[in-house]
Amino acid sequence: MIQNDFAGLALVYIYVAILLIISEKLLDKYPTFARKFLHIMTGNIAFLLPIFQTREIMAFLAAGPFILFTLLMSTYSPIKSIKGKTSSAGHGMGLVYYAVTWTILAYLFFDYKVVIAIGILAMSYGDGFASLIGSKYAKKRYKIYNDQKSYIGSFSMFAFSIIIFIVALIFYELDVNLEILFILVIIALSSTISEMITPKGLDNLSVPFIASIYFYVALFL
């Protein structure tokens, strides 16, 4: 294992552990905020990706184990003491899909880490703020496939996606010109529409894949 990979693994596990501890402490008093805090802040892993130097280590040792970890805390867990932990916290299978997405993106786009980052950030910051702001400030709502959404939530996802995409491109030292901004707007819009029309929970799969693939096609093909 390359030294940088070891450092990357350590940082990912330590960071996620800290988030889980903070989220658990917030859960009783502020359940909605605690859920969204974990959902949004997990996305900052996107800024740890450049540390990794080995595809398999990032995909199967940094991201992959969280599939098993979150699955064991879901309603499908064989361990009764932790079974349904994510569901009772309001995450359902969402965190499992989150981990699956990161694992697949990490393996497919390892040589284009900014592509992985765009997918992760669309889901974490974009969808996270959509839910957080929508649940607090929404006045007008709409339904798609019996899944209730809010106009302000959808707009928040679009806006925060663009903002965090720009931050990511600056972090990854890519130019942010008018052409790139137009691409980011299209990706943010596509991600928002995907979140709107995807059945509940599955947006943790659809949104990151759509954002990453669109970005890859637009910039690297």
Mean pLDDT of 25-46: 86
Q: What pLDDT score was predicted for residue 83?
A: 45
Angle at CA of residue 110, ends 106 and 112, nearest 5°: 120
> Where do the domains of the chain lie?
3-220
Rounded average pLDDT over 130-156? 85
For 218, the token pair is 């637009």
What pLDDT score does 74 carry? 62
* Res. 92 pLDDT band, cuts 50 70 90: low
Assigned token pair, 73: 């805390």
pTM over 0.85: yes
- pLDDT over threshold 80, residue 145: no
pLDDT surpasses 60 at 85: no
The answer to whether residues 115 and 105 touch, using CB atoms and an 8 Å cutoff, is: yes
Q: In sequence order, which residues have a C-beta less than 8 Å from that of residue 221 and are 6 or more positions away?
A: none
